[in-house]
Amino acid sequence: MTNSNHTNDFLSKIDELIQNDQLFKITLSKPRPQNKDVHNVYLKTADIKHQLQYSLTYRYKTRDEVKNYKKDEIIDVLKVLITDSFFNAVLFTEDEETSLLQNKKGSGTIFTKKTKEKIVLEVSHDHKKTRYIAENAPYLQMLGLAGKDGKIYDKSQDKYRQINKYIEILDHLIKDLPTSKPISIADMGSGKGYLTFALYDFLTNTRGYRIRMTGYELREDLVATCYKSAIECGFVGLAFQQKSIEDANIKDTDMVIALHACDIATDMAIAKGIKANASYIIVSPCCHKQIRNAMHHQNELSPILKNGILEERQAEIITDGIRALIMEANGYKTQVFEFISSEHTGKNLMITGVKSEVNPKALAEVDAIKKMFGIEYHYLEKLLM
């Protein structure tokens, strides 16, 4: 922890604003070495239940978390963040900008400048989340999520939230995607195409990438509907093919996606991505039958796992945990996290892999897990032999 005179002066200035109920904003940046997860923190004043409070947005790699603090809580929270978690902080008042720059040796510099234009400081507390995909996107009507008035149907609200959360996650994940060349994306089991259209639209029309995206789907009627809708939307880089994951030819693909592919279909998509040397692999698994049927455990957990529901959940953890380890063994940095709240869908886990360095311990860890639970093999292993 650092606590230089400049840091104390900066915190005192904030505390004075708090005690006088003045409006301000703060941006925290340059994480300290011990802070490996939160990239930035943003503070704004907020009117919550007719009381001035302080809303902090914690920005992680793939998500944002918002926490609200009362007047008597916020200075202690900021003191920890500024002295323990971040090197830099910028305080914005209506006509002034004050910056605190700290270094690893514990010293700091503080400087203040007047702003040419007044900084807009708001106290509204808007619960509406950022929408990456507008309600009136034409394809949402074509695919049956919205009416002709451009409003999402009540029955489709959960799906619409899922679409926006999906785009939010991928927007953070692929921030290093090169703009110098076309990006090839394979969406395995694209289904009704909601997420396929949304991702193509966002990457092309919002982020400005040159995208060649193909949705692979076995059901002929869904392929026909999506293909027709893509043409009507003028999405020239978006195509659909009636093919299984196994039959899809995705050589040299940059990104492989498989959302809610059932059981071993998720493994097939991951294997395709690894063999294609894809830069990104993104899956949201559904069903975990292979490992559930393969488990023959005699260990400390067996007395608990005699309950079927607990064994089922353990099988899900093992299945997806081994998937992530196998991806790491093949040179991917992985994350496993909740895709969207289980309030909206039970199929809420996501595994992401970004091309990185090989984890040399991963396969030994897989073997230890298989031995513990009496599992002969994980299907992904077979696909990669």
Mean pLDDT of 225-231: 95
**Spatial separation of the C-alpha atoms in residues 116 and 118, rounded to whole Å:** 7
Q: Higher confidence at residue 46 or residue 152? A: 152
Q: Higher confidence at residue 114 or residue 381? A: 381
Domains in the chain, number: 2
* Residue 341 pLDDT exceeds 60: no
Model's pTM, two decimal places? 0.67
Exposure pattern of 108-137 as b/e (b: 16+ CB <10 Å)? Answer: bebeeeeeeeeeeeeeeeeeeeeebbebeb
* Residue 128 pLDDT exceeds 70: no
Return the C-alpha torsion angle 73, 78, 83, 85, nearest 10. 110
Looking up residue 290, the CATH number of its domain turns out to be: 3.40.50.150
Write down the mean pLDDT value for the chain: 89
Question: Which pLDDT score, from 0 to 100, does residue 297 have?
Answer: 82
* Residue 377 pLDDT exceeds 90: yes
* Residue 271 pLDDT exceeds 80: yes
Highest mean pLDDT pick, 50-64, 78-92, 162-176 = 78-92
Together in a domain, 163 and 222: yes
The helix/strand/coil state of 151 is coil
Together in a domain, 210 and 100: no
Together in a domain, 247 and 378: yes
Residues of the chain above pLDDT 90, percent: 63
* Residue 106 pLDDT exceeds 90: no
Together in a domain, 203 and 352: yes
Together in a domain, 178 and 90: no
Question: Which pLDDT score, from 0 to 100, does residue 345 have?
Answer: 41
Tell me, yes or no, whether 182 lies in a domain: yes
Confidence class of residue 127 from pLDDT cuts 50, 70 and 90? very low
Together in a domain, 108 and 147: no
Question: Which pLDDT score, from 0 to 100, does residue 124 have?
Answer: 58
Q: Higher confidence at residue 51 or residue 82? A: 82
Tell me, yes or no, whether 60 lies in a domain: yes
Q: What are the residues facing 338 on neighbouring strands?
A: 349
Question: Which pLDDT score, from 0 to 100, does residue 178 have?
Answer: 78
Q: Higher confidence at residue 4 or residue 328? A: 328
Question: Which pLDDT score, from 0 to 100, does residue 64 have?
Answer: 84
Distance, C-alpha 230 to centroid of its chain: 26
Together in a domain, 153 and 97: no
The angle formed by the CA atoms of residues 186, 130 and 35, to the nearest 5 degrees, is: 85
Are 256 and 282 a contacting pair, CB within 8 Å?
yes
Are 254 and 311 a contacting pair, CB within 8 Å?
no
- Last-in-domain residue among 82, 114, 146: 114
**Spatial separation of the C-alpha atoms in residues 28 and 42, rounded to whole Å:** 6
Tell me, yes or no, whether 46 lies in a domain: yes
- Last-in-domain residue among 81, 114, 147: 114
Output the CA–CA distances (angstroms, integers) from residue 170 to 237, 282, 293, 344, in the order listed.
19, 9, 33, 19
Together in a domain, 340 and 210: yes
Together in a domain, 193 and 227: yes
Q: What is the 3-state secondary structure (H, E, C) of 166-210?
A: HHHHHHHHCCCCCCCCCEEEEEECCCCCHHHHHHHHHHHHHCCCC
Question: Which pLDDT score, from 0 to 100, does residue 120 have?
Answer: 61
**Spatial separation of the C-alpha atoms in residues 27 and 92, rounded to whole Å:** 8
**Spatial separation of the C-alpha atoms in residues 82 and 88, rounded to whole Å:** 7
Question: Which pLDDT score, from 0 to 100, does residue 21 have?
Answer: 87
Question: Which pLDDT score, from 0 to 100, does residue 158 have?
Answer: 87
Mean pLDDT of 221-248: 95
Together in a domain, 162 and 92: no
The token pair at 205 is 């029309």
**Spatial separation of the C-alpha atoms in residues 316 and 293, rounded to whole Å:** 11
Q: Which domain holds residue 93?
A: 5-114
Are 215 and 240 a contacting pair, CB within 8 Å?
yes
